[in-house]
Structures are given as C-alpha cells and as structure tokens.
C-alpha cells in the first residue's frame, strides 16, 4: 500500500502497568510517560492494556457510563493522538468508548496523522456483558507506516477466527490490549493458557502478535501480567514479562519476514492451504477495512 514504509525492521513495545480504577486523567498521564520512554528507546508501535484509561472492574452500568468517552473527540483520545503524532508512532490502547447510549470495550488506533479508527471487542467476558455492547465493526485491518495492523482484545484471543480473519486480510501484526485474569485449571505450572493460545495463533497464521497485559489487583480481582511479543514462528521474541511489575517490553523484528516465511516449504502455506471449497474464505464474515475518522463528521468512515 502507498502509505506503508518499505523499511521492514520495526520496534514494538508493550506497556505493562497497573491502572488506578476511575482515575482517568492520572492513568492517561502515566501511559503517556511510558509511551515517551518507549519512544526514547526506539518504539514505533506501542500497545497498552485493555481499558487502560479507566480500569476494568465496574460495579454498575452507570459507573461504566460515567467513565466512558467518545472517540475521537474525548480527552483520552486527544491525549493519545497527540503523543502519537508528536513522536511519530502508532498507539493501540484500550478505552471505554461511548457512542450515544451504547458502551464498547474498544481499542483506538492512533498514528502520526491522527486517529485511524477503533476496534470494538467482539467477545465479551463475564460482567462485561452487563456494561458493554458486543463489537459491531468486525475485524478491520489498518494500514500504517509500519505495516498492516489488526487488533484483538483479551477474550477475543480464545477465538482463532479473529486472528485468521486479520491474517486473511493481510495483517502483519495483531496488537492485543488485554486484562488477563487467572482461570482455574489454566495455569498448572506451565504458564498462562493465554500465552499458549497466542503463540499458537501467531504460528498458525504466520503473524506477529503483541500482547499488553495489566498487573495488580482491582476491587478484589487479580490480573496476570506476563505480557509478551510473539514472532511469526509462534515463539516469544520478548517476554513473557513478570506477573507483578510495571515494565516496557520491547522487540525489534523484520515485518517482511513473516510474509516471506508463510511459504513453509515447496507445497505448504498456512493461508493459501485453506480449504475454501469446504468453508468460506473469510468464515462468512463481512470484511471491513480500517478507515480513518471523517474530519467532517468525527465518526468512522464506512
């Protein structure tokens, strides 16, 4: 695509931190300080956790609604867009998004030229079903100066269709803002199942997956941390991070290598080998290209 950089080497940072519930301004200030530090170390794509501006454990819809903001016109969107433009990087960050009377567990994608759009979480976990609407924008892929980006949020990672749809549309990297929580039977001394699932998804689609998790305990709910960046082979190239420490996880990779490496041998290519005579090439999903927000309407263009 015309606006993609021919330079294949890119540096990704996942920012693992502990939001303070309800302290939107404070959380945003802390994320900007971490983004600045990551940029100083050469980051070109920065991924923040799920609901990074508000925290996660809401007690009522009214509380969730009070803390929600419009995208791209809210103060959080403007702050993240400003630092992305000023530092010339991509920010993918979890946000409590309000559109009219609807709330979405979303991630905004901001770049040097402004906010590219949003991804809205498709698969809601637990009490999220009480506060949020299921995502209604499909699995868009965004063209950026540093490659084609898809997005998934937390529980979306348990559905391989999300990664396959992103890869089938040409995504090089899928960014995953997340708030992983302990699930009985999914640790067993071998690390979180979440890490294993995302390693498998990266391998089976030959894509890079960058997961930014939070840490800490919020209103009695502990979180796992252990953010990681997985290469297209399925093996971590950074992390997993610690379970309880704020940190910036970084990796430099060749984004073109995943495209070239999809030819596993003379015969096999994980995307080309799909049996589209048996199942629909896009699993029956409507394909939506990530679009920038309209300057005239302030809403995402169709």
CATH node for 9-261 = 3.60.110.10
Task: Please confirm, yes or no, whether 4 is among the known catalytic residues.
Answer: no
Nearest Cα to 144, choosing from 10, 269, 280? 10
SS3 92: strand
Q: Which of 69, 121, 128, 175 is catalytic?
A: 121
Q: What is the mean pLDDT of residues 195-214?
A: 96
Cβ contact 217:247 at 8 Å: no
Instruction: State whether residue 222 is helix, strand or coil.
Output: strand
- Cα→Cα distances 275→139, 204, 278, 280, 282, Å: 21, 15, 5, 8, 11
pLDDT of residue 207: 94
Task: Identify the pLDDT of residue 266.
Answer: 82
Which residue, 123, 110, 137, is CA-closest to 53? 110
14 is catalytic: no
Among residues 18, 69, 128, 154, the one annotated as catalytic is: 154
Q: Is the model's pLDDT at 302 over the cut of 70?
A: no
Give the separation between CA 289 and CA 302, rounded to whole angstroms: 9
Contact assessment for residue 118 and residue 105, using Cβ atoms and an 8 Å cutoff? no
Element (H, E) at 254: strand 247-254
pLDDT of residue 102: 97
- State whether the Cα torsion 267-273-275-277 is positive or negative: negative
What distance in Å separates the CA atoms of residue 115 and residue 14, rounded to the nearest whole number?
19
Share of the chain above pLDDT 70, in %: 90
User: What is the model's pTM?
Assistant: 0.90
121: annotated active-site residue:
yes
User: What would the pLDDT profile of 141-153 be if each residue is shown by its tens digit?
Assistant: 999 999 999 999 9
Task: Quickly state the pLDDT bin for 248 (edges 50, 70, 90).
Answer: very high
Each residue's pLDDT tens digit, 23-63: 999 999 999 999 999 999 999 999 999 999 999 999 999 99
Contact 15, 35 (CB under 8 A): yes
Identify which has the larger pLDDT, 178 or 277. 178
> pLDDT digit string (tens) for 94-123?
999 999 999 999 999 999 999 999 999 999
Of the CA atoms within 13 Å of residue 45, those in its CB half-sphere come to 34
Whether residue 197 contacts residue 157, with contact meaning beta carbons closer than 8 Å, is answered with: yes
More confident residue, 182 or 299: 182
Please answer whether residues 183 and 194 qualify as being in contact, where contact means their C-beta atoms are separated by less than 8 angstroms.
Answer: no
Cα angle, residue 138 at apex, residues 18 and 75 outer, rounded to 5°: 45
| pLDDT number for residue 295 | 39
> CB of 159 within 8 A of CB of 123?
yes
């Amino acid at each position: 695509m015309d606006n993609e950089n021919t330079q294949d080497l890119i540096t990704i940072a996942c920012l693992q931190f502990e939001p303070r519930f309800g302290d939107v301004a404070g959380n945003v200030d802390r994320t900007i300080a971490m983004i600045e530090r990551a940029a100083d170390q050469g980051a070109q794509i920065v991924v923040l956790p799920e609901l990074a501006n508000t925290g996660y454990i809401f007690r009522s819809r009214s509380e969730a609604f009070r803390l929600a903001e419009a995208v791209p016109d809210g103060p959080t969107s403007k702050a993240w867009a400003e630092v992305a433009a000023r530092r010339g990087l991509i920010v993918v960050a979890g946000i409590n998004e309000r559109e009219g009377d609807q709330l979405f567990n979303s991630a905004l994608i901001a770049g040097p030229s402004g906010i590219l759009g949003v991804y809205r979480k498709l698969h809601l976990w637990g009490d999220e079903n009480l506060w949020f609407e299921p995502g209604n924008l499909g699995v868009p892929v965004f063209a950026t100066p540093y490659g084609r980006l898809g997005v998934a949020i937390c529980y979306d990672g348990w559905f391989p269709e999300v990664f396959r749809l992103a890869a089938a549309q040409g995504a090089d990297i899928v960014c995953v803002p997340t708030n992983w929580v302990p699930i009985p039977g999914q640790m067993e001394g071998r690390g979180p199942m979440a890490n294993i699932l995302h390693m498998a998804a990266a391998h089976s689609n030959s894509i890079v997956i960058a997961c930014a998790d939070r840490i800490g305990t919020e209103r009695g709910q502990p979180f796992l941390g252990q953010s990681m960046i997985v290469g297209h082979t399925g093996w971590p190239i950074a992390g997993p991070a610690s379970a309880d420490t704020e940190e910036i996880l970084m990796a430099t990779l060749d984004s073109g290598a995943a495209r070239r490496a999809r030819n596993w041998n003379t015969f096999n290519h994980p995307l080309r080998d799909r049996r589209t005579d048996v199942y629909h090439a896009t699993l029956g999903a409507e394909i939506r290209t990530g679009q920038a927000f309209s300057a005239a309407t302030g809403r995402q263009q169709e």
